Amino acid sequence: MGGVVYQVYIRSFADSGGDGIGDLPGIAAHLDYLTQLGIDTLWLSPVHPSPNVDWGYDVADYRAVHADYGTLDDLDALIAGAGARGIDIWLDLVPNHTSDRHPWFRDRPEYYVWSERIPNDWKSVFTGEAAWRFDSTRRQFYLHQFTPEQPDLDWWNASVRNEFDDILRYWFDRGVTGFRIDVAHGLIKDRRLRSGEKYMRDRPEVHEIFRRWQEVAGEYIPKPTLMGETYVPLERLPAYYAHLDLAQNFPFLKADFDLDELRPIVETTMAELPKGREPVWFGSNHDHSRMATRWAGGDERKHEAALFLILTLPGSAILYQGDELGLEDGTVSKDRILDVADPPRDPERTPFPWTRGGDEWQSPWLPLADTSRNAEDSSILPYTRDLIARRRELGDGYRTLPSARGVWAYARGETTCVLNMTGDTAEHDGAILQPWQGLILPSS
């Protein structure tokens, strides 16, 4: 499965060409760094040609590579280079919608969701207005859950399903070993387009799509992994494990970094997880304020506590690029904002600081304002590496153990993890815990 998954936001990771945009050769040039970090899997943000209305999440061709990032050969080389180091490559699959520049939108309009009039109260996530836009050529409205330039595909259409089976095979044949599935909970909508949020997302028919994709994945050895971006409440998460290998836990990410909030989420997740499935934990991504800011408020010890938790809970862990350094949100002035969302997501997408001076980035697409936390002299990086290495010591399962107030203790098989979730010194079973300190204790 995923193990430690490292999420690369390609545009901001490493620029090999000097144009201020990260690219695939840039990632390939940093495979040593990633190997030393100890990760198992690289999840790449969308690599495909895109007009970038939503920075790659508006795909114009599912089988090609965006010229900004390199070529198909570059991607093949990255897959091979990573594979030689035991690192898997996952791509970001965007099956809910395409770009309105995708040839399908003109040549295969029946692939999209149309209506003669605005049929319901569904709202666009980005505009907050009706999720329907009038198309003057077809003289009908089409559905767009996101921007009007991202028309939703009609997953009731058998041809759409066939197209994606082929897209999956195309990438599995090239050596891709998994997909993160964008808007996994929202692919299929109520066939009758009834009003109400519950008819727009988290529909029961969505699971059949994933069942079918597992059949496709089952044609390959080892079977590739399917991880869903599942924005659903905790009690809805187990349903997605019927056919997904991993379902992303957003209630965990969205909680405050607070014992009384997080522990019940972990306990419920573990208790409800279907047999044989594993959870996946993360505190940052390209859509949310980085955990070094949102959870830790810049406090390095608190950030280490968050890393400890994510990396010692059972299952897979995702680090968003920079989490390993305690990288905080960047500062992006109003005139540099490029994102469509409000509030904009640019602060969590700023370039990765490789050096103290930041000279590796010439006129980057988003500003690199602060390089005080960088890969060259980060004090957190050795901590993260060590923790990833020590994951091997941990046993299976999760069981909450009795502990003092403010301390989170849990058994991982024969091993005990203790995390001080306070800014004061604490104690567990005779071991002294500094503020926010986590310890892996041998079995007693």
For strand 438-441 and strand 415-420, is the pairing parallel, antiparallel, or unpaired?
Answer: antiparallel
Task: Indicate which single residue of 135, 208, 267, 287 sits in contact with ligand NOJ (rule: CB under 6 A).
Answer: 287
3-state secondary structure 234-268: HHHHHHHCCCCCEECCHHHHHCCCCHHHHHHHHHH
d(CA 380, CA 378): 5
Q: Measured from the CB atom, is 25 or 283 closer to ligand NOJ?
A: 283
Least Cβ distance, residue 236 to ligand NOJ (angstroms): 17
229 assigned to active site: yes
Q: Measured from the CB atom, is 94 or 313 closer to ligand NOJ?
A: 94
74 assigned to active site: no
Residue 146 touches ligand NOJ, criterion: CB under 6 A: yes
Nearest 5 degrees, angle CA 104-CA 203-CA 180? 60
Q: Quick one: which of 374, 358, 357 has its CA closest to 366? A: 358
**Strand-pair partners of 44:** 8
One symbol per residue from 205 to 234: x for binding ligand NOJ (CB under 6 A), - otherwise; what is it?
Answer: ------------------------x-----
By the 8 A CB rule, do 331 and 367 touch?
yes
Q: Quick one: which of 433, 393, 386 has its CA closest to 413? A: 393
Q: Measured from the CB atom, is 220 or 231 closer to ligand NOJ?
A: 231
Task: Indicate which single residue of 8, 14, 60, 183 sits in contact with ligand NOJ (rule: CB under 6 A).
Answer: 183
d(CA 8, CA 43): 6
Catalytic residue selected from 92, 154, 229, 328: 229
Q: Measured from the CB atom, is 43 or 354 closer to ligand NOJ?
A: 43
Residue 434 C-beta-side C-alpha neighbours within 13 Å: 6
Task: Indicate which single residue of 6, 13, 43, 57 sits in contact with ligand NOJ (rule: CB under 6 A).
Answer: 57
Least Cβ distance, residue 237 to ligand NOJ (angstroms): 17
Residue in the shown chain whose Cβ atom is closest to ligand NOJ: 57
**Helix ranges, 108-174 (H):** 158-173
Size of the residue set binding ligand NOJ (CB under 6 A): 9
Residue 182 touches ligand NOJ, criterion: CB under 6 A: yes
Catalytic residue selected from 54, 100, 182, 324: 182
Least Cβ distance, residue 391 to ligand NOJ (angstroms): 26
Residue in the structure block whose two tokens are 């949102």: 294
By the 8 A CB rule, do 24 and 70 touch?
yes
Residue 54 touches ligand NOJ, criterion: CB under 6 A: yes
Residues of the shown chain interacting with ligand NOJ in the complex, contacts defined by CB under 6 A: 54, 57, 94, 146, 182-183, 229, 286-287
Residues serving a catalytic function are 182, 229
